Structure 1
Amino acid sequence: MFHWTHTAQKQLEEKLFAHVDARSFPCVGAKSALARGTLSVLACDRIDSAWDDVRIHDHLLRFAQSYREDPALFQSFAVVFDGPSDLDEIAFERALWDRVQSLSDKDVWRGQDYDPRVSPDPANPHFSLSFGGEAFFIVGLHPNASRPARRFGNPCLVFNLHDQFERLRATGKYEGLREKILVRDDRLAGSRNPMLARHGDASEARQYSGRAVNDEWHAPFAYQGEPPR
Structure 2
Amino acid sequence: MPAPETPMFRWTHQAQEELETLLHGHVAERSFPCVGAKAALARGTLDVLACSRIDSAWDDLRIHDGLVRFAAAYRAEPTLFRSYAVVFEGPDGLDEPAFEIALWERIQSLSDKDVWRGQSYDGRVSHDPDSPHFSLSFGGEAFFVVGLHPNASRPARRFARPTLVFNLHDQFEQLRADGRYESMREAIMVRDEKVAGSRNPMLARHGELSEARQYSGRVVDGAWRCPFHYAGGSDPA
Pair 1:222 & 2:232 matched = no
TM-score by length of 2: 0.95
**What is the match of residue 65 of structure 2?**
58
Residues in 1 aligned to 2:235 and 2:121: alpha-carbon distance in whole angstroms? 5
State the alpha-carbon separation in 1 of the partners of residues 154 and 16 from structure 2.
27
Report the equivalent of 1:182. Answer: 189
- RMSD of the TM alignment (CA)? 1.1
- Equivalent residue in structure 1 for 2:178, among 152, 156, 171: 171
Question: C-alpha deviations, 1:29-54, integer Å up to 9, x for none?
Answer: 00000000000000000000000000
Q: Distance in 1 between matches of 2:233 and 2:20?
A: 36
Take 1:6 and 1:119, find their aligned partners in 2: how far apart are those partners?
37
Distance 1:228 1:3 in 2: 43
| Cα distance in 2, alignment partners of residues 161 and 5 from structure 1 | 26
Alignment correspondent of 1:83: 90
Give the SS at the match of 1:43.
strand
The answer for the alignment partner of 1:158 in structure 2 is 165
Q: Tell me, what secondary structure is at the counterpart of 1:222?
A: coil
* TM superposition shift of 1:4: 3.2
Distance 1:225 1:20 in 2: 35
Deviation at 1:228, TM superposition (A): 4.4
Letter in 2 for 1:179: E
Q: How does 1:120-159 map to 2 (within 5 A)?
A: 120-159=127-166
Q: Deviations over 1:95-123 (max 9, x none)?
A: 00000000000000000000000000000
Amino acid at match of 2:131: N
CA distance in 2, matches of 1:17, 1:133: 27
Residue type of the alignment partner of 1:191: S
- Structure 2: runs of 5+ lacking an equivalent: 1-7
One-letter identity of the residue aligned with 2:15 = A
CA distance in 2, matches of 1:51, 1:90: 21
Name the CA distance, whole Å, in 2 between partners of 1:208 and 1:118.
16
**Percent identity of paired positions between Structure 1 and Structure 2:** 72
Equivalent residue in structure 1 for 2:115, among 101, 108, 116: 108
How far does residue 171 in structure 1 lie from its aligned partner after superposition?
Answer: 1.2
CA distance in 2 between partners of 1:91 and 1:198 (Å): 26
Which residue does the alignment assign to 2:23?
A: 16
Q: What is the CA-CA distance between 1:2 and the residue it aligns to?
A: 10
- C-alpha separation in 1, matches of 2:38 and 2:113: 30
Q: Which runs of 5+ in 1 are unaligned?
A: none
Paired AA for residue 163 in structure 1: D
Q: What is residue 75 of structure 2 aligned with on the other side?
A: 68
1:8 CA displacement: 1.7
Aligned with residue 203 of structure 2, among 192, 196, 203: 196
TM-superposition CA deviations, 1:149-193 (whole Å, max 9, x none): 000000000000000000100111000000000000000000010
Paired positions, count: 229
- Spell out, residue by residue over 1:122-141, the C-alpha distance to the aligned partner (whole angstroms, 9 max, x if none): 00000000000000010000
Structure with higher Rg: it is: 2
Alignment partner, residue 93 of structure 1: 100
2:52 equivalent to 1:38: no
